[in-house]
Amino acid sequence: MIGEISVSELEPLLASGALLIDVRESDEFAAGHVPSAISIPLSTVHDRVDEFRHAGTVYVICQVGGRSMRACQYLADFDIDNLVNIAGGTTGWIALGNTVVAGE
């Protein structure tokens, strides 16, 4: 089963060094993303499965939560079971007044 947390639950996790992967396309990521997020566009996830293999929990974010959930569901087929979707996505992160970083 794929876990899911809200954007408000994400902030303290990032402060403690959690791994966050943003699956939006490169232009969306460059326009503004959560600080420390790593860009792996959904269209490339199938070629980059091993980058999601991590000792700890891997948090996955997109714009609002749909694409990140699709990525989690896809990756679950590869026995990657430490994935958590971020409900609300980058839109929710911004709505809470959190900082975003532009550029790659």
Q: How far is CA 19 from CA 8, 35, in A?
A: 16, 11
> What is the rounded CA–CA span in Å between residue 39 and residue 29?
7
- pLDDT value at residue 104: 79
Catalogue the E-assigned strands of 1-104. Answer: 3-6, 19-22, 38-39, 58-61, 83-87
Residue 71 has pLDDT above 80, yes or no: yes
Share of the chain above pLDDT 90, in %: 93
Q: Compute the average pLDDT of residues 48-73.
A: 96
Q: What angle do CA 64, 43, 56 make, to 5 degrees?
A: 65
Q: Lowest mean pLDDT: which of 58-62, 71-75, 78-82?
A: 78-82
Q: What percent of the chain has pLDDT over 70?
A: 100
One-letter amino acid for residue 11 of the chain: E
Query: What are the residue boundaries of the structural domains of the chain, listed by start?
Result: 3-95
Give the catalytic positions in this structure: 62
In CATH, which of 3.40.250.10, 3.40.50.720, 3.40.630.30, 3.20.20.70 is domain 3-95? 3.40.250.10
